[in-house]
Amino acid sequence: MTPSPRHFGSPCTPLFGWLYPAVAGGSMGAIICGPLGQEMTHTYRTQQALAAELASRGLPTLRFDYAGCGDSADPGDDTVVDGAVGAWQGSIEAAIEHLRQCTGVACVALIGIRAGALIAAAVAAGRPDVACLVAVAPHIAGRGLLREWRAMEATSALRAQRDDGALEVAGALYSAATCAQLEQMALVELSWPPDKPVLAIEREDLPSATRWLDHLRKDGCALTHQRHNGIDAMLQEPHRQVVPATMLQNIAEWLQALRPAGTSAPNVQPVDTETPSAWTVVAPGVREQVQFLIERQVTLFSIVSEPVSPARGMATLILSNTGGVHHIGGHRLYVQLARHLAARGHRVLRLDLSGLGDSAPREGEPADVVYGRRAVDDLALALRQASTRWPDGVPQLMGLCAGAYHALRLAVNQPGAAQCLVVNPLVYHWHEDMTLDGVEGHVQAAYYRGKWRRWKSWRRLLSGRSDWSALRTVVEHHAQRLLAKLGSGGKDDPAPADDLVRDLRVAADHETRMRFLFSPGEPGWPALQAQAGQVLEPLMQSGALSVDHLTGADHTMSTAAARDALLAWAERVVAEPSNAAPTSAPDHKPALSPTSPSLTSRSPH
């Protein structure tokens, strides 16, 4: 049976998840409790595969987003003061109730991945309808989790200076109260029921749960301990992560053996992709709806955010995937952006291109390809259907990184969009022989190029607080370029044959206004100047193009302050009339201020 997307839980804080019904449902189901922060997006494909595997073996399964995470609604402001751990555990409780209600199962298995195991364990220990726990590479104590996060924060290229005691790491923000709650959590402190089996899976090369496993054995728990070598690959960036198929099969087989006799009475309706789901209020004045965009053999998944009381003539903004991240965007940026704009009277469609997120690949095409051959066709489909469903709307396109590239290519390929918001594009033309590693090396090199003369940068390096993996990428990138240059007799790579001047003129002729935004050190800005410098000034004077720079931000807007500044920029440009000419400020470089990002318009030279 096809998995079914849905909102569930409290109307005040609705959660979002996917229910995978079992063809022949048993009396036990499964709840997948994912990790936190960037590990949630990194393991997204693995969670999908695990849910499908379990359902195929007779275990109806629900994978979902905690409150304040993914597509779920944000909890109230009191979680900043009281901490979010209770809201996360309450999300698991709501998921259990929803699965039981929809499928008729008598009990559930909780499957916690990384921090998800730490959060889920207390729920599992205290509920009689939780039959067992599966812990995948678990954090066994909040203190260790915080230590890992603080190490990541200390070596990040752009550190957020906060005075409220909160911890901001890898694009996720945890309040001081949440950190204090995590500090007190430890699996060895739980009183574990001896009749509740546990499957603990550790990394083959990095076992870390020894104390907890000894504690379980002492309590007489029916413990199964496994080690797998695919966990590290599972935690890589979305476009690099590898689903650990053997580990998922082992989990399914272990749960199958525990499943009680009997069958459930499923109450799950078949998925109707032709009819949009009901609207759900997810924030004050904002409602959301799942919509499948279907054309011939292609089905694309999307979530639409709009005002509770839509008005005629409002903007309809289509967001294209940030790299391989699903429709929530890197650091949940697209969710924040969609709800922010919807609260201000606009409609936003968060789209998964084919083969990414929750959209299946087109026939004959691979999945998880960031610069897919048919990505522009997918965006064109979304633009057509948006124009049909909301004919009074003002269609606009937006994307970051690869999403920016695809949005700009569609603006060049055809008319129909009033504006195209292009944020931190890495390239303007993509070819089959190009690689993401090469492009990312170029980005890292551009970022560090301006830092090697600064004593502060050397001090961070010598004290061990710099990101050595990023520096290694830069060195490797320069080495490859040097070898290529020596191999060509000392000549640089030839200039690309692609004509960006022509492309920008064509988009302008389509009456699509192009709005570029760059973070400091982005290679897309000098590339734009080099490849299209002769046409930038005329297009800016005519109002067809503008360029803004956002100081204090990195490529993916990994700090809350940078994301807030991006939201303010998007709010302004989405609302502006498409024929209003931008004002250019003198071409000066503002000082970098990590805690106070600011916008500056730029001239083309």
Q: What is the pLDDT of residue 492?
A: 46
Q: What is the pLDDT of residue 471?
A: 54
Lowest mean pLDDT among 10-14, 383-387, 592-596: 592-596
Q: What is the pLDDT of residue 593?
A: 35
Q: What is the pLDDT of residue 588?
A: 32
Q: What is the pLDDT of residue 447?
A: 46
> Percent of the chain at pLDDT above 70?
83
> Percent of the chain at pLDDT above 90?
74
Q: What is the mean pLDDT of residues 447-470?
A: 54
Residues 252, 255, 259, CA angle at the centre, nearest 5°?
Answer: 135
113: alpha, beta or left? (left if phi > 0; alpha if psi -120 to 50):
beta
Q: What is the pLDDT of residue 435?
A: 80
Q: What is the pLDDT of residue 433?
A: 82
CA distances (Å), origin 220, targets 125, 193, 230: 14, 9, 29
Amino acid letter for position 72: S
- Kindly report, residue by residue over 320-376, the tens digit of the pLDDT: 999 999 999 999 999 999 999 999 999 999 999 999 999 999 999 999 999 999 999
More confident residue, 442 or 192: 192
Grade residue 578 by pLDDT with cuts at 50, 70 and 90. very low
Q: What is the mean pLDDT of residues 85-111?
A: 96
Q: What is the pLDDT of residue 208?
A: 86
Q: Does the predicted model carry a pTM greater than 0.85?
A: yes
Q: What is the mean pLDDT of residues 264-271?
A: 64
Amino acid letter for position 406: H
Amino acid letter for position 273: T
Q: What is the pLDDT of residue 579?
A: 37
| Phi then psi dihedrals of residue 225, to 5 deg | -115, 125
**Chain centre to alpha carbon of residue 469:** 22
More confident residue, 90 or 76: 90
Q: Would the pLDDT of 390 be above 90? A: yes
d(C-alpha 474, C-alpha 480), whole Å: 10
Q: What is the DSSP letter of 74?
A: P
Q: Which of 359, 361, 335, 351 is nearest to 383 (CA)?
A: 351
Domains defined for the chain, CATH in brackets: 4-258 (3.40.50.1820), 280-429+496-601 (3.40.50.1820), 436-487 (no CATH)
On whether the CB atoms of residues 85 and 67 are closer than 8 A, the answer is: no
d(C-alpha 429, C-alpha 330), whole Å: 22
Q: Would the pLDDT of 248 be above 90? A: yes
Q: Would the pLDDT of 158 be above 70? A: no
d(C-alpha 518, C-alpha 211), whole Å: 48
d(C-alpha 383, C-alpha 446), whole Å: 34
Q: What is the mean pLDDT of residues 314-325?
A: 96
Q: Would the pLDDT of 19 be above 70? A: yes
Tokens of 446: 């551009």
- Kindly report, residue by residue over 28-73, the tens digit of the pLDDT: 999 999 999 999 999 999 999 999 999 999 999 999 999 999 999 9
Q: What is the mean pLDDT of residues 485-490?
A: 56
Query: If you average pLDDT over every residue of the chain, what do you get?
Result: 87
Q: What is the pLDDT of residue 85?
A: 97
CA distances (Å), origin 108, targets 60, 124, 264: 9, 9, 12
Report CA torsion sign: 420, 426, 432, 437.
negative
Helix (H) or strand (E) holding 315: strand 315-320
d(C-alpha 565, C-alpha 394), whole Å: 23
Complete DSSP assignment for 435-474:
-HHHHHHHHHHHHHHTTTT-HHHHHHHHTT-S-HHHHHHH
Lowest mean pLDDT among 107-111, 114-118, 164-168, 210-214: 164-168
- Kindly report, residue by residue over 392-423, the tens digit of the pLDDT: 999 999 999 999 999 999 999 999 999 999 99
Residues 503, 509, 513, CA angle at the centre, nearest 5°?
Answer: 80
Q: What is the pLDDT of residue 600?
A: 78
Tokens of 579: 């024929």
Residues 1, 328, 114, CA angle at the centre, nearest 5°?
Answer: 75
- Kindly report, residue by residue over 508-558, the tens digit of the pLDDT: 999 999 999 999 999 999 999 999 999 999 999 999 999 999 999 999 999
Q: What is the mean pLDDT of residues 443-462?
A: 53
What burial class does residue 358 get, using C-beta atoms within 10 Å of its C-beta: 0-12 exposed, 13-18 middle, 19+ buried?
buried
